[in-house]
Amino acid sequence: MWIDTLLAYAHYASILFLAGYLLCEYLLLRRRDTPPDPAFLARIDIGYFIAAIAVLASGAGRLFFGTKPAAFFLGNPVFHAKISLFVLIGLLSIAPTRAFLRWRRLQREDTGWRIPADQQRRVRLLVLVELHLVALLPLLAALMARGIGYRG
């Protein structure tokens, strides 16, 4: 019981951290008064990556060591939708990560370089889409926890 409780807590906390890092990226990209620091964006993105790994690790822990059998999750199409959505979010995050690294490199080469407004807008939109998709994960988790979609 304790292991399942601690794994659930770790899973929820890591999801909150993941959403927090994404929100931080979005808010920095949204600023109009001063351009965001690409090096800071890249550091925040590392936090986002670590949070994503923590989400996966704690989720895998719940799958294999939780109180519900793995068949409860693996036999549920909502679980597969949740994992697919998480993978989609991960794939969408590749473009912002590459942009942050490219921007950081360009700023290191030329300290007067600024992020072009159109690139900043595009990356901000991708991060916003990620945020909206992350907001769907708890809905799928709630459906799954109640056995909706389970055919076992």
CATH class of 2-145: mainly alpha
What is the average per-residue pLDDT within 29-36?
Answer: 89
User: pLDDT for 16-27, tens place per residue?
Assistant: 999 999 999 999
User: pLDDT for 37-76, tens place per residue?
Assistant: 999 999 999 999 999 999 999 999 999 998 888 888 888 9
Could you tell me the pTM of the whole model? 0.91
Q: What is the spatial distance between Cα 64 and Cα 40, in angstroms, rounded to a whole number?
A: 36
pLDDT band of residue 117 (cuts 50, 70, 90) is very high
Smallest Cα–Cα separation from 83: which of 26, 144, 2?
A: 144
Letter for the amino acid at 8?
A
pLDDT averaged over every residue in the chain: 94
The answer, yes or no, to whether residue 152 has pLDDT greater than 70, is: no
Smallest Cα–Cα separation from 23: which of 138, 130, 140?
A: 130
How many residues belong to the chain?
A: 152
Distances (CA, A) of 131 to 3, 124, 152: 29, 10, 32
Please tell me the predicted confidence (pLDDT) of residue 41: 98
Smallest Cα–Cα separation from 18: which of 79, 93, 81?
A: 93
Q: What is the spatial distance between Cα 87 and Cα 101, in angstroms, rounded to a whole number?
A: 21
Distances (CA, A) of 48 to 37, 75, 80, 106, 135: 17, 29, 22, 22, 15
What is the average per-residue pLDDT within 87-114?
Answer: 97
Highest mean pLDDT among 124-128, 139-143, 146-150: 124-128
Percent of the chain with pLDDT over 90: 80
